[in-house]
Amino acid sequence: MANTTQNSTIDLSQEQIQSLITTSTGFLDVYEIPVHGDVPILIPQNMILSAMSVKANEKQVEWHDKQLPTYVVHQPDLSEVTALVVEGEQEATRFALLCDSMPNSLRLRISEVVDVEKKTPARTYQYVRVNGVDYQVPNLRAIQQQVFK
């Protein structure tokens, strides 16, 4: 029973990110997050609750007296990185994305974002191309399932 509740919460988070990415304003305000060994992630800015400096490769980070599991995308040789707290539908589904540094903020026209047809790993919902640069849109459900094992 608890699994069903958590899965539906995770599904809503993925729906939330898709909704934020396909907003009708004509623009997307996103963070461009470099990923070691892969193309950068694009994630809506309003999905990020906080950013803080932490030691690299931490399994958990403390945020508002809560221990959040982490998902690592930073370069392996770094000793200090930036933890981005990613919003979840509920407090229990929040996690920290560990990246190299504070990511670049971009404002993109929706018309600039083009789907790229290629095989995606479980952690990637979809690949897109913006002005000739490939990016990945994260599959929050898969990432949450991985970090909450």
Q: Does residue 143 contact residue 14 with C-beta atoms inside 8 Å?
A: no
| Residue at 15 is within a domain | no
Number of structural domains (the chain) is 1
| Residue at 57 is within a domain | yes
Q: How far is CA 33 from the centre of its chain?
A: 8
Answer yes or no: is pLDDT of 61 > 70.
yes
Answer yes or no: is pLDDT of 63 > 60.
yes
| Residue at 120 is within a domain | yes
pLDDT for the residue 59:
95
Rounded Cα distance between 55 and 57, Å, is 7
| Residue at 14 is within a domain | no
| Residue at 67 is within a domain | yes
| Residue at 60 is within a domain | yes
The values of phi and psi at residue 72, to 5°, are -95, 125
How do residues 80-120 score in pLDDT, each as one tens digit?
A: 999 999 998 788 889 999 999 999 999 999 888 999 998 98
Work out the pLDDT band at 2, boundaries 50, 70, 90.
very low
Higher pLDDT, 46 or 23: 46
How do residues 15-33 score in pLDDT, each as one tens digit?
A: 666 555 555 568 889 999 9
pLDDT for the residue 3:
41
Q: Which region among 93-97, 126-130, 132-136, 145-149 has the lowest average model confidence (pLDDT)?
A: 145-149
| Residue at 5 is within a domain | no
| Residue at 11 is within a domain | no
Q: Which residues pair with 32 in a beta bridge?
A: 42, 104
Task: Name the pairing type of β-strands 104-109 and 113-116.
Answer: unpaired
Domain interval for residue 71: 27-147
pTM value? Answer: 0.81
Mean pLDDT of 32-55: 96
